[in-house]
Chain A
């Protein structure tokens, strides 16, 4: 008995020593959970380019396709099928997962992290972040209607953000712009420089962008809240606001991964340079009626071996099922729409364009909410569009086209003046700003020559007036407000 215990004691001692050694090294050796692959914090200026690139990816790619098809600039090519469901007015909720993610989980969250950053002297960068926040929320609400804003972007508090009424979202947009302007005006702080992909840190241009965005947002409320819009615009002009005189866009290049987003997607291995979009006769006929030289700039001419003139061939909106075999003109490389042309890689994504800026100002004057010369602003808008498309001297067009200056001069009522302005703005945004064109049509009902897509499956008389909430929200948000059909107008719509 005794012998057994002695051996056990020796063994026990050895065990104790080993265990003690193990224990003391314990805490330190377990401290290996610091991630060597990714940082847990970063500088605010490094978050700025992805914010700008993300909202450009949405405006320049996903919403560009929806917008250009629903604004009847483009239609589905009969010999391919990628965007058929859009022309049929029957998108599915999963189609909107990616743009919603890019708006909220890339553009907005990174802008918000910049704003919340405690780094010193970055007021200019914060100002740009506020402008991007306002712009992105406007895109979201114009597309989807009611969207989360008060409870959004705060996962530690709100894991199921409630949706706010569109009016509340617009109030937030204005408050973000108001916060942005003093920050943009601050001098002697760090300039983002080349980290700002849009204006390279030029604060005057950002202030002009903020003012133009504010003007656009107030005019958007022209039907829903005319009194508020009028007051807001009056205040904007009273502060001597300067507006944009050049396009706000990222400069894309031919390098892989830095190209125009729509072209980048069209040339991806999945789509393999298939030409999925072609000219819609809705806009082509309108251009032709006005002898508009921009027609040949927005679309690629088909070389016609039969008659001597090269021409833009188009098909009626949504008629892909009955037009199989027809050769139709694709959009040009200028707007990034020609899949097999590498020049499409450098097409701009215009967050706001110069032409648009002039037409917004013209509309404000036409409504009597600002002072200025309507005809002059209208002409400047057309000239800016001609310059952007390289279509030559606009003088003849302005003077003689039925939808040119004659339309404005003949307009007696405010509505007719607005009709002329919005119609010209529509022509200027062809291919470049499909989402904004569709949005302005929803607000004003202009231009009046839209048709119902021949492929529509949602019933006669119904048009797409909003986008569907993404499937990711349906299945993960406990406060999901319920799906709204695409033919239900949003709050500010005049339809």
Chain B
């Protein structure tokens, strides 16, 4: 049983300052803030029950089997209570932070409890023959309270096997060359449910929002309800992911060289998502099963020890991974679903494209990639509909590392690279708007837009060398309509870590009370190399963590380089 509880207070002071110099009173009025106080209370409780029965049996001395039967019941309940002082009224008295000090009706932000339960039954069968052939099969049935009553039960099986073929060869001459070899393969399905209360559309207390303020209910004594902006889905199906993998592990020359390779295909069906829909439908979000999305790829890792003597060892290791995602189909004949986005840039799942494609309005370009501008103002023209701008998915990722050990010294270095993919940079957007971005620099008057053309009466491109544009207007207003201009190449190479250490040997420690002593210096995130087009930020910064919205850099703090000294001692 797991219980978590959290109480937070948010405080904003009430103040009223008047300018010391009254002569400018018309320009700089009093600076005031009504203040606010908010209390947030969160509770999460989980109760898990597991019952497992195992049985083992050996057939002869080479064939082992074991069977596990299990029952798992899980209940998760949460409560959230967020209350604050009146949003526009604020506090009555300065410095007193309590809900009783609310200047106006208290604002109940959230009053919410949820309960969900899952009951599962599973079986796991393991077979092995001697020490080199293994087979495992599992089957599980889950029933979830969060899915529709007529469809809340789902089965999912898996089977996997491996064959350590080097065992058969261990007495032959090949063993000097191939010291270990394994082939493995697996097929697995996993089902999943969703959050509670997603099957119906609900009503709530009305709040009419402007950009920064809102009209709240009750309005005086008049209560008001409005329909929620998320549509429920009474025909929701469980999610299902089917994965197939096959791979091999090999070791050569007494493990002086090892190889680990795998190839996988993962198919996610009916992912349950809350997707934005056009507001002209009367709603903001729809709860859907997303269709079929496939991820396939390879993972390869190699490591070797080219030099190994009594006191010198040199290891080299590297990995290479390549993943490609594809939206195979979406439900109900839809060809595109929006899965997220911020500030005019959205991320979509479009049929036939990788999952998570950037989609927004951008500058118009001609067939040769030159920007089309307005003939009179010189300002770039925006596309009239949104365009696909690439996805965060890289062409490949790789890493390369090495360690040297000589006597007590050890040196290790690790590089890491990602090639391909794009990300959205809010840092670029902000530095453009404030005029501190590098491309807003240089001469600001009388310049035509770089590499631009305008269209003549027949629609043909005419290179623009004469019509200047206002750099100030472009970066403060015009570019706000084209979030596509903030999409940047996400490739990078990083020197992820480097470390040097010295381990004292027993003779050196003879007269000291230590059993072992190692000192060293290390550094992480030491260098970052990005393509010329990315002068803005580290492409790994991601505003939303692990989720559907990958590749949004939303002006988080820059990544840091750190160094240190470490000392390991044992007595």
Contact = CB atoms under 8 A, between A and B. Distances in A.
A245 interface: no
A231 to B, nearest CB: 31
A105 B36 CA distance: 29
B152 A49 contact: no
B210 A265 contact: yes
B88 A33 contact: no
B284 to A, nearest CB: 6
B278 A161 contact: yes
A264 B210 contact: yes
B360 interface: yes
Nearest to A157: B281
Given A35-B202, A50-B224, A108-B282, A474 B360 contact: yes
B472 to A, nearest CB: 9
Contacts, number: 309
B344 interface: yes
Contacts of A266: 213
Contact of A273 (B29, B143, B383): B29
A109 B284 CA distance: 11
The 5 closest A-B pairs by CB, nearest first: A256-B89, A109-B282, A256-B104, A257-B216, A38-B202
B278 A53 contact: no
Interface string B460-495: 000000000010010011101100000000000000
A146 B442 CA distance: 42
B285 to A, nearest CB: 10
B374 interface: yes
Interface string A139-165: 000000001100011110011110000
A31 B149 CA distance: 8
Given A35-B196, A272-B31, 15 more contacts: A33-B196, A48-B224, A93-B344, A94-B343, A97-B279, A98-B211, A102-B208, A152-B282, A153-B282, A256-B105, A258-B216, A272-B32, A471-B344, A475-B346, A480-B386
A113 B203 CA distance: 11
Contacts of A31: 145, 149
B200 interface: yes
B225 A42 contact: yes
Contacts of A302: 26
Contacts of A471: 344, 360-361
B279 A480 contact: no
A189 interface: no
Contacts of B335: 478
Contacts of B445: none
A30 B208 contact: no
A42 B281 CA distance: 20
B473 A457 contact: yes
A85 B145 CA distance: 50
A161 B280 CA distance: 7
A279 interface: no
Interface in A78-108: 79, 84-85, 88, 90, 92-94, 97-98, 100-102, 104-106, 108
Interface in B79-110: 86-90, 103-105, 107
B209 interface: yes
Given A40-B202, A110-B227, A482-B384, A261 B215 contact: yes
A264 B213 contact: yes
A46 B206 CA distance: 9
Given A33-B196, A155-B277, A98 B210 contact: yes
B104 to A, nearest CB: 3
B385 A472 contact: no
A60 to B, nearest CB: 9
A61 interface: yes
Interface in B328-362: 334-336, 338, 341, 343-344, 346, 348, 359-361
Nearest to B201: A40
Contact of A88 (B213, B344, B473): B473
Contact of A257 (B117, B215, B478): B215
B83 to A, nearest CB: 14
A148 to B, nearest CB: 4
Contacts of B69: 15
A474 B346 CA distance: 10
B204 interface: yes
Contacts of A93: 344, 361, 481
B39 to A, nearest CB: 18
Contacts of B111: 37
Contact of A32 (B51, B104, B116): B116
Nearest to B73: A22
Interface in B127-170: 143-146, 149, 152
A39 interface: yes
A160 B222 contact: no
Contacts of B197: 33, 35, 37-38
B385 A49 contact: no
A267 B385 contact: no
B366 to A, nearest CB: 19
A283 interface: no
5 contacts: A8-B55, A40-B202, A40-B203, A50-B225, A159-B281
A98 B222 contact: no
A35 B276 CA distance: 22
Contacts of B31: 272
Contacts of B104: 255-257
Contacts of A41: 203
A308 interface: no
B414 interface: no
A97 B149 CA distance: 37
Nearest to A154: B281
A400 B143 CA distance: 83
Contact of B361 (A147, A457, A483): A483
Nearest to B231: A155
A302 B204 CA distance: 45
Contacts of A473: 278-280
Given A155-B281, A264-B213, A256 B88 contact: yes
Q: Which of B30, B89, B226 has the most CB of A within 10 A?
A: B226
Interface in B182-236: 196-197, 199-204, 206, 208-217, 219-229, 231
Contacts of A154: 281-282
A476 B12 contact: no
A325 B27 CA distance: 7
Interface in A90-138: 90, 92-94, 97-98, 100-102, 104-106, 108-110, 112-113
A49 to B, nearest CB: 4
B189 to A, nearest CB: 22
